[in-house]
Amino acid sequence: MPRTLTLAGGLALWSAIAMASDSAPQVEPGRATELERLVIQDCGSCHGLTLKGGLGRAITPDLMQHYDRHDLRDIILDGIPGTAMPPWRPLMTEADALWIADYLRGETP
């Protein structure tokens, strides 16, 4: 289901927030904007728009800080086999996934 969701959409609010995040180190600013939209729209489709849980568990910064950033990157890239958590490797690079890991841990500006 979520694979068919589009990255397009561009809610003005999220664009404004994404612009404030342009200094994220690992990826280009434009990619960071796209990844932030992906987290809200695609991850949010299962984890809730505010990431507080839905079909998938809550993935808020207070919870995600307990993960090593590389472990979190691997969960994002490979998914969790046997659950609805899909692998995202076909849609992003390792640097992208690491950016999302940091984003989820509340560590991107």
Q: Does 98 bind ligand HEC (CB under 6 A)?
A: no
Among 36, 42, 96, 102, binds ligand HEC (CB under 6 A): 42
Among 21, 45, 48, 69, binds ligand HEC (CB under 6 A): 45
Among 32, 88, 98, 105, binds ligand HEC (CB under 6 A): 88
Query: How far is the CA of 20 from the CAs of 29, 90, 97, in angstroms?
Result: 10, 27, 20
Minimum distance between the CB of residue 91 and ligand HEC, rounded to whole angstroms?
8
Q: Report the C-alpha gap between 20 and 22 in whole angstroms.
A: 6
The pairs formed by 40-44 with CB atoms below 8 angstroms and a separation of 24 or more are 40/11, 40/14, 41/5, 41/6, 41/7, 41/9, 42/2, 42/5, 42/7, 43/100
Binding residues (CB under 6 A) for ligand HEC: these are 2, 39, 42-43, 45-47, 55-57, 59, 63, 72, 75-76, 80, 83-86, 88, 100
